[in-house]
Structure 1
Amino acid sequence: MISGSAVTKDTKKAMELNTVEGAFAVAADNLAAPYLGLFALALGATPSQIGMLTAFPNFMGNILQIPSALLAERLKDKRQLIIAGGILNRSSWILMAFLPFLFAHERRVSIVILLATFRIMAANLGVPAWTALQATLIPKSIRGKYYANRNMVLNTCAVLATLLANFLLRLEFPTSYRVLFLLTTILGLLSVYLFSKIVFDQTPPKAKTASTDSYVEKIRAFTKEIGSQKDFSSYVVSAIVWSFGIQMASPLFVVYFVEDLGGPAGHWALFAAVNLASMVLIQRYWGRLADFFGQKSVMMVSGLGIITLPLWWVFSPNTWFPFIIHIVNGVFWGGYNLAAFNLLLEVTPDQDRSVYVGVYNTMMGVATAVGPLVGGFAAEVVGLRPIFVASAVVRALALYLFYRNVTDTSGRRMRARDLVPGQRGRRSLPGA
């Protein structure tokens, strides 16, 4: 997967296990999570409730990330938080399969929202620690290549899981979802077990020091420290606007497909498979570009494509056109997600990285909570298509802020012809 000369034997083994664990985790996620909105629709959810199904979990899940990040910095083994959160997260799908049906019909969607919120809170408990551990495990010089290869494996497993989900969704409701949620639990718990076996070279825990400063003074001091990290603070601001623009429309695409275009719910699993397949095929392409031209260049190019995606839905003429949308979606998001994660590792300082990641994710939690609420409630007033257009405008604003304010550290300028594989080789792009 990665050249043996770049890493030690033990590190290479840990990196390989890191990929295997991720494969189980992603397979588990793609068996159930993409269809939670469909599950809620089958229980009678409205567009505003679909918005809440995204908003509440995102907000509550991310609001706890700063406390969990502070705790992670004081733990000798950061894996403890990740494992505890993973067990709670994966086990919650069993409750999702049966608990809503113990309540009256009009309360079932509310129970699903509560369970989804608990699941994301548990899952996000270890995110700052996990991100910090990834930075210590993967050398910066090969992150683009490693995560591109890792994502190929993960997305391949996600495609297989999605195809299985498409088959299982043909079963009678609610048996179909109960089988999905049970399999998700099993695969998810296996991923937690595998993660517990990965050996990380962890930084020493941060000692608790005596201080006469008040809590407010400590917050002010840390806020000032964040302000001194210009690229980090600029990245956070642009990402807040970006996430808001994404989330005000994305949860509503499935509603538009089922209720406006009249598409069958089972096709949504096929769309997810097409989306993931295109991500698999494009990962190495984006990974090589990221290692050579830097993360910002890849995010700019792929981001321009992502801006247009809501407009594709606006002009979708029939129920098969979303297949094309999801192919394009996978190509652009495959590059953006890869580069965005690597850039986050670059703009966060080694010291207190978990805390910085916690701050970042908390801010994203606010944006991804407000976005679906605004989009969901506004859609009930003005309809879905105006929300899609507004989403494209907000995405464009966010990408402009990112372009203007975040530093490009690569020192290499990407040109249009560099996107063509045959042309890239002339500039000595590694592996091209």
Structure 2
Amino acid sequence: MGFTKNEKLSIYNGIASTASTNMVNGYIPLFAISVLGATNNQMGLITSLPSIIGMLALIPGAIWLNKWKSKKNFAVASTFATRFMFMLILFVPFFSESGYAPWLLVGLIALLNFPGALSNLSWQSMIGDMISEDRRGNFFSSRNRYNTIAALAATFSTGLFLSLFDKRDALPYQILFAVGFLLAIFEVIFLFKHKERVSKPEIKQEVIEKKKLPFAVFRYKPYTAFLICAMAYNISAQMGWSIFSIYHIKEAHATAIWFSLFSVTNQLAQIISLKWWAKFADRRGNTMLLFVAAAGMASAPVLTILSTNLVYITLINFWIGIFVAGTNLLLFNQLLKATPDESKTNYIANYNFLLAIVGFIAPQIGVFLLNQFGMNFAMALVSAARFTAAFSFLVVALKLENHKAFRARTIEESV
């Protein structure tokens, strides 16, 4: 497809953002455990605390965003603040001797999610206005594919770089934080170059409707149906986030190079499968295909614990990547589809607000299960929860199909 100027800038922005964050994000668990000596509970907090901070940000976030004349400028400011705070983590190892370094890492990762949540909210709302619905499927599949290629290159080169050093050495991580911030500057520049149409009447309407946010959004049935399924899925998905990292490091004894191979194979699978997901979503619909993607994700925990062989785990990450591509693409597309054009920012903010609550609770549940029942049983429970969530998408899809068939018959009979 031919890209508009905004679409090209969004792709460049996504590549810079992905390269910047993937240089270190995937290695934070290794950095926390091997360099700083973080415990299981601290690992759980690294995953879950940002959600609480993000939730607190979303309370005023939608109001602030609606008051700003430019969603783009709001996104630029919040994105820069997020990346700057992320860069500050390079100073954390200097406090290792005090014993507080793991807690400083926990605190910084939590706090940077305040501007991070605002950045995510404003970008979603901005891009939803800029990209028309009929172009979203192909555009986002293309953008995600380019992002995944950037993630693949950044992750693999980072893994090779880290493998040159002792896994307990903090210096290579500090270098990566600095380089990641330089890439983030380009991310902000491309974001700033977007051209937007500022609609003052719509903003005023959203400011008025923000007072009805907690209740009014639930009266829109397509959004409520999506919300129930998405929350069920995210609870089950995020329960396993910390457990996977702990399993890879403590059970399988993965090093930085293996972490990079896990990510690279996962990302390769995403690149290969993205167009397939976009193509079949257009034919079958987002909701039905979300069942397939979520069910595939449900197989990940039980397949992972079958062996600690690192080659086997690498292959499993390829399998998982196929379904990660589907869930990432389809969930976002379905969110935009399920929200009405009026007050879109408020609906997205409400979704992110609830997602933040889930993001705090779910990883803590996962760590609790791990501490109480051990690795294998915890992983099995996560798989079971994910399968249950996947079926919620199927139930909604079947109800929608029955509803459409009923309306079609009613129209025919009335004619």
Structure 2 residue 258 is matched with structure 1 residue 298: no
Give the equivalent residue in structure 2 for 1:17. Answer: 9
- Flag the 1:327–1:20 CA change in 2: closer, same or farther, 3 A: same
Give the equivalent residue in structure 2 for 1:107. Answer: 100
- 350-359 or 100-109: which moved more? 100-109
After superposing on structure 2, the runs of 4+ consecutive aligned residues of structure 1 that deviate more than 4 Å are 208-211, 406-413
Aligned match of 1:341 in 315, 318, 332? 332
Q: Is this contact kept in 2: 1:142–1:291, CA < 8 A?
A: no
Q: Aligned partners of 2:403 and 2:11: how far apart in 1?
A: 30
Task: State the shift of 1:412 in Å.
Answer: 10
Give the equivalent residue in structure 1 for 2:176. Answer: 180
Q: Aligned partners of 2:258 and 2:156: how far apart in 1?
A: 11
CA RMSD of aligned residues (A): 2.4
More helix by share: 2
Give the equivalent residue in structure 2 for 1:354. Answer: 345
Structure 2 residue 204 is matched with structure 1 residue 207: yes
Give the equivalent residue in structure 2 for 1:233. Answer: 224
Task: State the shift of 1:25 in Å.
Answer: 0.4
Task: State the shift of 1:408 in Å.
Answer: 4.7
Task: State the shift of 1:59 in Å.
Answer: 2.1
Query: Can you list the C-alpha shifts for 1:187-238, whole angstroms capped at 9, x where unaligned?
Result: 1121011100011234325238999xxxxx986x433322211121222222
- Flag the 1:111–1:394 CA change in 2: closer, same or farther, 3 A: same
Give the equivalent residue in structure 2 for 1:312. Answer: 303
Q: Aligned partners of 1:3 and 1:26: how far apart in 2?
A: 22
- Flag the 1:203–1:251 CA change in 2: closer, same or farther, 3 A: farther
Please tell me the residue identity of whatever aligns with 2:224: S
- 184-193 or 95-104: which moved more? 95-104
Give the equivalent residue in structure 2 for 1:75. Answer: 68
Runs of 5+ in structure 2 lacking a partner?
Answer: 406-415
Q: Is this contact kept in 2: 1:241–1:367, CA < 8 A?
A: no
Q: How does 1:15-414 map to 2 (within 5 A)?
A: 15-42=7-34, 43-102=36-95, 104-170=97-163, 171-172=165-166, 173-204=169-200, 206-207=203-204, 221-405=212-396, 408=400
Q: Is this contact kept in 2: 1:258–1:265, CA < 8 A?
A: no
Q: Aligned partners of 2:287 and 2:403: how far apart in 1?
A: 11
Give the percent of matched residue pairs that are identical in Structure 1 and Structure 2: 23
Q: Aligned partners of 2:283 and 2:2: how far apart in 1?
A: 17
Matched position secondary structure for 1:266: helix
- Flag the 1:208–1:104 CA change in 2: closer, same or farther, 3 A: farther
Q: Is this contact kept in 2: 1:302–1:333, CA < 8 A?
A: yes
Q: Is this contact kept in 2: 1:128–1:355, CA < 8 A?
A: no
Query: Can you list the C-alpha shifts for 1:382-406, whole angstroms capped at 9, x where unaligned?
Result: 2122111111111122222233236
Runs of 5+ in structure 1 lacking a partner?
Answer: 5-11, 212-216, 414-432
Task: State the shift of 1:264 in Å.
Answer: 2.5
Matched position secondary structure for 2:203: coil
Q: Give the alignment's TM-score, normalised by structure 2.
A: 0.90
Q: Is this contact kept in 2: 1:61–1:365, CA < 8 A?
A: yes
Query: Can you list the C-alpha shifts for 1:365-390, whole angstroms capped at 9, x where unaligned?
Result: 11111111121133122212211111
